[in-house]
Amino acid sequence: MKKYMEERVIESAIYIIEHNATVRQTAKQFGVSKSTVHKDVTERLETINKTLARQARKVLDINKS
């Protein structure tokens, strides 16, 4: 994975956790699509930081319901 992608993935997850943000809000904040944010947080983040991935996933699951 490219360095800029890795940084975006981590920054997106932190944003979601700190702001209880939705995928849509995060996408708007970082100027990427909702699909990109979703893939970043649910797939790519798992390989980078499992703990952060679980925390972000918890917030997304709450927002989804």
Total domains in the fold of the chain: 1
Residue with tokens 């991935």: 53
The average pLDDT across 7-14 equals: 95
* Residue 63's pLDDT band (cuts 50, 70, 90): confident
Q: Residue 64's pLDDT band (boundaries 50, 70, 90)?
A: confident
Q: What is the mean pLDDT of the chain?
A: 93
Q: Which two tokens stand for residue 37?
A: 């944010």
Asked if residue 10 lies in contact with residue 37, where contact means CB atoms within 8 angstroms, the answer is: no
The residue segments making up the domain with residue 39 are 3-64
Looking at residue 65, its pLDDT comes to 79
